[in-house]
Each structure stands twice: as C-alpha cells, then as structure tokens.
Amino acid sequence: MAETAPPPKWREANSNMGSSAPLSIADICDANSHLLTTGELRPLPPVFHIYGKKRNFSGRVVTVKCLEDNLLVREFLAQEGHGRVLVVDGCGSLRSAIIGGILAKKAQSNGWAGIVVYGCIRDVDDVNLCDIGVRALNSSPVKPGKKGNGEKHVPVTIAGTTVCDGDWLCADSDGA
C-alpha cells in the first residue's frame, strides 16, 4: 500500500546502498545528508523514551496539539489508523499523562503504527504489552483532562522541530 511504503527518496537510498533490509534512521540520515541540510528531513531531538513492543515503526503523520487533555487523542485513536502515526504535541508537559494502556490498546486494535507524545504516558507496563511503537518524554501517574481543548491537523513543534499533518515519520532505536 502506498500509505505504508517509505517515500521514494528513502527507497532509492536503500537500493543505492545495496541492501534489501529496512533502512535504519541512521542509514536514512547518512544517505540523505542533503535533505538534512534543506530541512526536508528533520530528525526529532533525542528526548524520547521508547515504549510499546515495536521499536521500529513508520507511517504518515496525523497531528494533534493538546495540553494535559486527551479527548482529541481519544477521538483519533478510535478511528482506523491505516498504519499512520499519531504525533501529539503535549507542549512538553510532565504534569499528567496523555495516553495510557487503554488508548494504546485501542491504537493497536485500530491499526495505528505508533504514537509520539511530546509529553507523558501512563500505565507503562500495559503500554509495553501493546504491539505498536510509542515514544514519550516520560511517564506520569496523573490522568489527563477530558474537555476537548486543543487543535487537530495543525503543524506542531516537538522540542524545536516542526512536524506537519501528512509528513512521513520513521522511528527506531536510534531516533525518529
């Protein structure tokens, strides 16, 4: 499926390197230094912890910005994911979690490839049992609000790096 295949430039880089194995994030950066220079390829800063069973995941990005409120996140994860990655700008808050085990299970059952949270998660043991990839700043036992505050499908800034709805995100143990 086109939505779950890497962008052509990454496929070309993989074939030029003579490998049939999936590219690592480091390989993608090495093979595309010109895209790093132009800003077309934007690695996220190394601020995330790795959660979930999938250490490697990729997909088209869907964005949401919300501060200590996860109602919009719940709405997205209740939909079919089609191999997409939900990128949540939680404004870097460490005061409460944005997702927990219930939402991670929902994301898994609805076909999301992964979730990147610029904020916290909770129910870490449950999240780690889910067959999806999750990145977050840390964990917090405090539950989020559910008022629906936030914005969907907007450019978000994750530790100084802009991520837009429709971008492609790849993640592995080296980064995202």
CATH topology for 45-171 is Glucose Oxidase; domain 1 (3.50.30)
Q: What is the mean pLDDT of the chain?
A: 89
Task: Tell whether 135 is in a known binding site.
Answer: no
Task: Tell whether 129 is in a known binding site.
Answer: no
Which neighbouring-strand residues pair with 156?
Answer: 163
Is pLDDT of 100 > 90?
yes
| C-alpha span between 14 and 25 (Å, rounded) | 11
| Contact by Cβ (8 Å): 41, 32 | yes
Task: Tell whether 126 is in a known binding site.
Answer: no
Question: Would you kindly state where each structural domain of the chain is located, as residue ranges?
Answer: 1-41, 45-171
What is the percent of the chain where pLDDT is above 70? 88
Which neighbouring-strand residues pair with 62?
Answer: 86
SS3 (DSSP) at 115: strand
State mean pLDDT over 14-22. 47
pLDDT tens-digit map of 41-88: 999 999 999 999 999 999 999 999 999 999 999 999 999 999 999 999
Evaluate the CA torsion angle 33, 36, 38, 41 in order and state its sign.
positive
H or E element that contains 26? helix 25-31
> Rounded to two decimals, what is the model's pTM?
0.88
Task: Tell whether 18 is in a known binding site.
Answer: no
Task: Tell whether 122 is in a known binding site.
Answer: yes
Task: Tell whether 35 is in a known binding site.
Answer: no
Is pLDDT of 8 > 50?
no
pLDDT at position 109: 98
